[in-house]
């Protein structure tokens, strides 16, 4: 009997010691217990998370940081009147035509405490009234400070106190595969956050804008998201959402955003001068191909070939001819038409810049004085938001 009690006491001691160790090092093992769901099935429920708990891999911190600065934009403009709406006979046969105002929906991003907002030009183009609604439900009428159809960007301004602002990131450091969030007001349902990755960089020749250098993402972008924010995992602004490829009108996983590097330059120019000033040299460029190289008799392996030069334009006055291959604009190396377009657009009109080019088998340099780029109508592809 004495031996039995000794064995029992040792067993209890070992059990209590084990319980103490588990309760100290792994208390969740004890708290997790089966519970019954209506007597049908028993499951193990995780302990209730504290108020500061964040799920692994969550982007909630980035969303909370950026979302307050993303606004909803509602526009309205008077409906076009029928040219015969005042004709009594027209009204007799067709009745009084109700000229309902046309309304539009989009998003925007507050980028400064002074109330400047970045959005898309196509969101506010032709609007008579622009109403901005903040995430905290405050509303204000916005004034258009300036627009840039060539990049499809616009700058608005509202007058409110204590405005939340977004932090501008560095889109030049983005890499394919980086996590991003798209924040906006799709279909007018209210502010919505979707997630995805950077699918591609430097997308161009899409026929959306004159200057194209898009960030492609699979984060869901839908009608109403235009002008909203594309942010990184830290909540910093990396782009302005502008267009989608879609057969249904909704997201199909291919969306495009204007890099914040472009948006920042447009913002600065519009705020300072009320417009964006770009350089222009008057040439018709094409990507260098073996066929074009053979046609014009050039031996260049890289660069952009000039197939046409405007008579008496800046390039013609500097001595550039059809068949020349431009390889550098100042310090910028040129490998394709988009790079040439961007580099020339960044030139200050009236200032001379050294161009490096190849003519036939000879390399040469010319000083080109850029002119002011003429205005061009905005081009938008048919299946974009």
Torsions phi, psi for 287 (to 5 deg): -65, 140
Quote the CA–CA distance of 309 and 316 in Å, as a whole number.
6
Whole-Å CA distances, 53 to 28, 61, 358:
15, 11, 62
3 state SS of 260? helix
| Token pair for 179 | 């996590």
Question: Out of 199, 226, 246, 251, which one is annotated catalytic?
Answer: 226
Nearest to 156 by CA among 168, 165, 143: 143
Question: Out of 152, 218, 232, 324, which one is annotated catalytic?
Answer: 152
Nearest to 301 by CA among 314, 311, 312, 289: 289
Task: Please state, as a whole number, how many other Cβ atoms lie within 10 Å of the Cβ of residue 356.
Answer: 17
152 carries an active-site annotation: yes
On whether the CB atoms of residues 45 and 35 are closer than 8 A, the answer is yes
269 carries an active-site annotation: no
In whole angstroms, what separates CA 245 from the centre of its chain?
Answer: 14
What single-letter DSSP state applies at residue 213? Answer: -
226 carries an active-site annotation: yes
Considering just the CA atoms, what is the radius of gyration of the chain in Å? 30
Quote the CA–CA distance of 319 and 141 in Å, as a whole number.
51
Torsions phi, psi for 77 (to 5 deg): -145, 150
| Token pair for 199 | 């699918």
| Token pair for 319 | 């001595």
Question: Out of 122, 218, 232, 246, which one is annotated catalytic?
Answer: 122
For 144, half-sphere exposure in the C-beta direction (CA atoms, 13 angstrom radius) is 20
Catalytic residues: 122, 152, 226
């Amino acid at each position: 009997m004495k031996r039995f009690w000794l064995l029992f006491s040792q067993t209890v001691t070992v059990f209590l010691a084990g319980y103490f160790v588990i309760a100290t090092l792994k208390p969740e093992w004890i708290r997790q217990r089966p519970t019954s769901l209506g007597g049908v099935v028993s499951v193990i429920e995780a302990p209730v998370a504290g108020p500061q708990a964040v799920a692994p891999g969550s982007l909630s911190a980035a969303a909370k940081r950026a979302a307050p600065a993303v606004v909803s934009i509602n526009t309205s403009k008077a409906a076009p009147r029928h040219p015969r709406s005042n004709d009594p006979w027209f009204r007799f046969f067709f009745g009084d035509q109700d000229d309902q105002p046309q309304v539009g929906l989009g998003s925007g991003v507050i980028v400064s405490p002074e109330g400047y907002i970045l959005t898309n030009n196509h969101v506010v183009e032709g609007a008579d009234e622009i109403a901005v609604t903040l995430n905290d439900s405050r509303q204000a009428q916005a004034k258009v400070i300036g627009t840039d159809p060539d990049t499809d960007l616009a700058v608005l301004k509202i007058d409110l106190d204590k405005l939340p602002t977004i932090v501008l990131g560095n889109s030049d450091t983005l890499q394919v595969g980086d996590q991003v969030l798209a924040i906006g007001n799709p279909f007018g349902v209210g502010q919505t956050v979707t997630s995805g990755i950077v699918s591609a960089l430097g997308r161009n020749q899409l026929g959306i804008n004159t200057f194209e250098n898009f960030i492609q993402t699979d984060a869901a972008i839908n009608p109403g998201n235009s002008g909203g924010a594309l942010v990184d995992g830290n909540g910093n602004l990396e782009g302005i959402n502008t267009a989608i490829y879609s057969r249904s009108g909704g997201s199909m996983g291919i969306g495009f955003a204007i890099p914040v590097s472009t948006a920042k330059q447009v913002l600065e120019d519009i705020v300072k001068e009320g417009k964006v000033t770009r350089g222009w040299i008057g040439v018709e460029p094409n990507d260098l191909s073996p066929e074009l190289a053979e046609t014009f008799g050039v031996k260049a392996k890289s660069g952009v070939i000039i197939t046409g030069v405007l008579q008496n334009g800046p390039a013609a006055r500097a001595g550039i001819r059809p068949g020349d291959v431009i390889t550098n604009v100042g310090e910028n190396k040129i490998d394709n038409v988009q790079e040439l377009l961007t580099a020339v657009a960044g030139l200050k009109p009236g200032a001379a810049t050294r161009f490096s080019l190849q003519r036939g088998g000879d390399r040469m340099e010319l000083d080109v004085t850029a002119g002011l780029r003429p205005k061009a109508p905005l081009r938008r592809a048919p299946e974009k938001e």
